[in-house]
Structure 1
Amino acid sequence: MTTSVGQIYGQTLEIVKGRFGPLLGLLATFFAINIALIIVFAMVIGVSAFAGMGAGMQASPETIGAGAILGVILFYILYILVYCAQSASMTAMASPLQRLTFSEALSAGMRSALPMLGLIVILMIAYLVVALVVGLVVGILSMAGSVVVFIAMLAVSIGAVYLVCRLSTVNAVIAVEGVGNPLTALSRGWNMTRGNVLTIFLSLLSFGVIAVVLLLLLVAPFFSVFTAASAMSVDPSAAPPEMPGIGSLLFLGIGALVVGIVLSISGSALMSTIHAELSDASPRAAEDVFA
């Protein structure tokens, strides 16, 4: 089944308008969870440090260091799991294929956290292997000249974009369809996006352009400061930049928060819509089958 960028963005806009409140609630919930996780981690580190100081010479530096490293590793694993749960919850809530309650979307995210972590591990291993091979190939090609290296790097960049497009629905396959096996999710997502790479690429590119424009508008009041600072780096005798006032800083802080929320919610809706448009469960898919 094929779809269009217009269809994707039309459905995305409907999702954002109709489910903005629940998606914002999920975003706030996971933000609070992350803050609580950071606080707990800081308390554990603090208690461990005091216990180590109290133990004096009874504990070796190697033991204390190993415990600290283990604690940091555990914290990052939990942090990634929370991020996976957040991404899955937002995707499940934003999917046009279903209408979940807040608690159902939260549960879907929690169930999807471990499969998504497994997916991340698989993709990281694949990335390391591919990066090693690409590095060796580019190293060999570097002897043929800079033009050949440029062509090789361009090909690698195009290949990376292609893979991103082909795997763009894997998150939703896990979160919405409930596929718990990361390898099965990869296969399902790969097959789903066949024949729609250009549409997906244009959809993601458009979203990226919109994000850049919003960020540029956000920092536009500070362009004069950046320009003056750049001039001073070239000519020390140039006039120093005028420091922004409290109002400008508040505008930047609040604006960054608003833009971050809008982009996060819109991004989740976009990825869910791409999955829904390409899914066999999509109403449009049924129309194609029975046309």
Structure 2
Amino acid sequence: MKFDLDTAWKDTMGLLSRNFGLLAVLAGVFFFLPYAGFMIAVPEMGAMQSAQAGGDFEVVMAAVTELYLEYWWVFLLLALIQGVGLLGMLALVRRRANPTVGEALATGARSVPSYIAAQLLQTALIVIVATLLLTVGALTGLSALAVLGGIIAFVITCYIVTKLSLAAPVIAIEGQLNPVKALQRSWSLTRGNSMRLFLFYLLLTVAFIVVSAVVSLVLGLVFALAGEQGALLGEAIVSGLLNAVMFVLMVCVMAAVHTQFSRLATAPQPDAED
């Protein structure tokens, strides 16, 4: 049996509609307020975004490096807060025991070390594979092979991210706290459906980017009318709002996809290569 994009989208919207009130409150606490507060407290974020808009890769990398070196502890704290929120929301919408909000957040707090460890392992795998491919291409001295190595590295990165994308729901919903086993479970669940799942993620990502760009442009112009300080405050509010919306959708998408793949895993199906 194959992963069905239409069913995944309908299940996502169903989860969102049934849990919208609670998800909105939790998203405000764990995603909107921390991110908006960070944007307001760290003016360098604005400089980094301006560098990104300029399109100069070296300038962007310099700004990102400087920002992370100076505020690494803030990024770590933000990752912990958002990790607890993400895992808690996943447990809330899909745990079979129907936990209370407090129980779901407690699950998120217990699970966040496993989630972060899984993310670090995934990042390490991507870095190792990409570095090997890029290094081989560079050592040949041929620009065409270097470019080809970069393309292959990008494709493999997308593949790995897709295959391991269900680690968070495996941890939060199934209660698997071993990060290696969570990654293995995600890899196993998506077997035979990697391309379909990647297409689903790609369509959602493109749609979100387009809508986010329009919303940012419109609200940015509105806040710009209030002057420089109003524009900075507006940028923080809009960024925090989009961050919260993104995570709410991410939770519902991951929960819906995990549910469908869990059903597929228990159904008889022929062997498939992905």
TM-score (norm 2): 0.72
| Residue of structure 2 equivalent to 1:68 | none
Is the CA contact 1:92–1:108 (under 8 Å) kept in the aligned structure 2? yes
Match of residue 246, structure 1, among 209, 212, 226: 226
Moved more, 85-94 or 122-131: 122-131
Evaluate the alpha carbon distance shift between residue 4 and residue 123 of structure 1 in structure 2; reply closer, same or farther with a 3 A threshold: same
| Residue of structure 2 equivalent to 1:15 | 15
* Alignment gaps of 5+ in structure 1: 39-71, 226-242
Amino acid at match of 1:173: V
Is the CA contact 1:30–1:86 (under 8 Å) kept in the aligned structure 2? yes
| Residue of structure 2 equivalent to 1:62 | none
| Residue of structure 2 equivalent to 1:24 | 24
Cα displacement (A) at 1:210: 1.4
| Residue of structure 1 equivalent to 2:103 | 104
| Residue of structure 2 equivalent to 1:268 | 251
| Residue of structure 1 equivalent to 2:135 | 136
Evaluate the alpha carbon distance shift between residue 220 and residue 25 of structure 1 in structure 2; reply closer, same or farther with a 3 A threshold: closer
Is the CA contact 2:83–2:108 (under 8 Å) kept in the aligned structure 1? yes
Cα displacement (A) at 1:18: 0.8
Amino acid at match of 1:132: T
| Residue of structure 2 equivalent to 1:210 | 207
Alignment of 1:200 with 2:177, yes or no, is no
- Write the deviation string for residues 130-183 of structure 1: whole angstroms up to 9, x where unpaired: 343233212123x23x33222221111111111111111111101110001111
Is the CA contact 2:87–2:108 (under 8 Å) kept in the aligned structure 1? yes
Cα displacement (A) at 1:244: 4.1
In percent, how many aligned pairs have the same letter? 24
Evaluate the alpha carbon distance shift between residue 3 and residue 150 of structure 1 in structure 2; reply closer, same or farther with a 3 A threshold: same
Equivalent residues in 2 for 1:1-291, closer than 5 Å:
1-31=1-31, 34=34, 77-95=76-94, 99-141=98-140, 143-144=141-142, 146-221=143-218, 244-246=224-226, 256-279=239-262, 282=263, 288-289=267-268
- Write the deviation string for residues 212-257 of structure 1: whole angstroms up to 9, x where unpaired: 121232244489x8xxxxxxxxxxxxxxxxx941399588766555
Distance in 2 separating the partners of 1:28 and 1:196: 34
Evaluate the alpha carbon distance shift between residue 119 and residue 285 of structure 1 in structure 2; reply closer, same or farther with a 3 A threshold: closer
Amino acid at match of 1:111: R
Is the CA contact 2:8–2:260 (under 8 Å) kept in the aligned structure 1? yes
Distance in 2 separating the partners of 1:110 and 1:244: 39
Amino acid at match of 2:174: E
Cα displacement (A) at 1:80: 3.0
Distance in 2 separating the partners of 1:246 and 1:5: 43
Secondary structure of 1:194's aligned partner: coil
Distance in 2 separating the partners of 1:266 and 1:98: 22
Amino acid at match of 1:12: T
Is the CA contact 2:137–2:149 (under 8 Å) kept in the aligned structure 1? yes
For the pair shown, which has the larger CA radius of gyration, 1 or 2?
Answer: 1
Moved more, 265-274 or 246-255: 246-255
Secondary structure of 2:27's aligned partner: helix
| Residue of structure 2 equivalent to 1:239 | none
Distance in 2 separating the partners of 1:94 and 1:174: 14
Distance in 1 separating the partners of 2:242 and 2:33: 21
* Alignment gaps of 5+ in structure 2: 39-70, 270-274
Distance in 1 separating the partners of 2:96 and 2:139: 49
Distance in 1 separating the partners of 2:192 and 2:16: 27
